[in-house]
Structure 1
Amino acid sequence: MRFHSRKWVKPEDLNANGTLFGGRVLSWIDEEAVIYAIIQLENKRVVTKYMSEINFMSSAVEGDIVELGIEVVKFGKSSLTLNCEVRNKMTLETILTVDNIILVNLDENGKPAPHGKTKIEYVEERLADKEN
């Protein structure tokens, strides 16, 4: 799994118990997944369709650095399925996992559209292809 971004847990990210608010981390996951899908599918019109069971395994407190990892599960005709792990950057302890996040590629009218992708592509590879 590749960890793409990090977040610093600040006071506004905490719940009444003084630990990382679940809704905040889910927002971070959704944003990270959509950004990942936009880059992979080369289309800024991508929406989250489904997020499977979320397994909270530990927590984080103010001052912790957490990182979000994304991995492709499969490419569908108009969708991309990912899984996610959020972990503490310093201890590498898993905070939560999400097995399936399904994102859908949309056309200019907001309807699901085939994306034609079948494998992970890296920006460096796309740039190299354009140079050749």
Structure 2
Amino acid sequence: MPEQLPASISRTNQTKLVLPPNTNHMGTIFGGTVLSYIDEIAAITAMKHSKQAVVTASIDTVNFLSSAKVGDILNLEGVVISTGRTSMEVYVKVDCQNIETGKKTVTTTAILTMVAVNKEGKPTPVYGVTPETEEEKKLFQNAQRRKERRLKINEFSEEI
């Protein structure tokens, strides 16, 4: 098993069309629908990196920056940005493209933690990751701070 894999091994892209059943009374996509898409691409991304089944451990941050409307095209991109012993942080960026103008806008960003599991559902070790792009390198540099924040949140959750 190699110790490290390049981030590009995990990079995953999906395209979705915003349809009326997935929108609210304003004609914009439901946040929950976007979260579902994000969770799906994060899982695929983590599976490509770990070559294992995965489960979602946490959705650490979600930033809804703008909305998408009926008829818009959503482009989702996921990439593994850091790893632990059995866990992987996955960064997902969602942009929206207006079909008529071609204008693209970032609608959502998220960081999720996925855990690789074996056939018995037990956590299993994963490869490390080598960031390649400048964006990946910046996200990788802050991984320890995000991990510490998650641990504090978990401690607080256990207390209440």
Does residue 63 in structure 1 map to residue 53 in structure 2?
Answer: no
Counterpart secondary structure, 2:41: helix
Q: Which residue of 2 aligns with 1:114?
A: 125
**Superimposed CA distance per residue, residues 100-126 of structure 1 (whole angstroms, 9 cap, x where no aligned partner):** 2100001221111112x1236xxxxxx
Greater percentage in helix:
2
TM-superposed CA distance for 1:40, in Å, is 1.3
**Paired residues, number:** 117
Among 8, 14, 20, the alignment partner of 1:11 is: 20
Matches within 5 A, 1:73-84: 73-84=81-92
Structure 1 stretches lacking a partner, 5+ long: 121-132
Output the TM-score relative to the length of structure 2: 0.68
Q: Which residue of 1 aligns with 2:133?
A: none
Does residue 92 in structure 1 map to residue 104 in structure 2?
Answer: yes
TM-superposed CA distance for 1:3, in Å, is 6.1
Q: Tell me the C-alpha RMSD between the 2 structures.
A: 1.7
Counterpart secondary structure, 1:15: coil
Output the TM-score relative to the length of structure 1: 0.81
TM-superposed CA distance for 1:80, in Å, is 0.8
Paired with 1:29 and 1:19, the residues of 2 have a C-alpha distance of 17
Letter in 2 for 1:55: N
**Superimposed CA distance per residue, residues 16-47 of structure 1 (whole angstroms, 9 cap, x where no aligned partner):** 2210110001100101110111111111x210
Letter in 2 for 1:9: V
Structure 2 stretches lacking a partner, 5+ long: 1-7, 131-160
Identity %: 35
Q: Which residue of 2 aligns with 1:104?
A: 115
Q: Which residue of 2 aligns with 1:21?
A: 30
Paired with 1:41 and 1:73, the residues of 2 have a C-alpha distance of 13
Q: Which residue of 2 aligns with 1:129?
A: none
Q: Which residue of 1 aligns with 2:147?
A: none
Does residue 34 in structure 1 map to residue 68 in structure 2?
Answer: no
Q: Which residue of 2 aligns with 1:130?
A: none
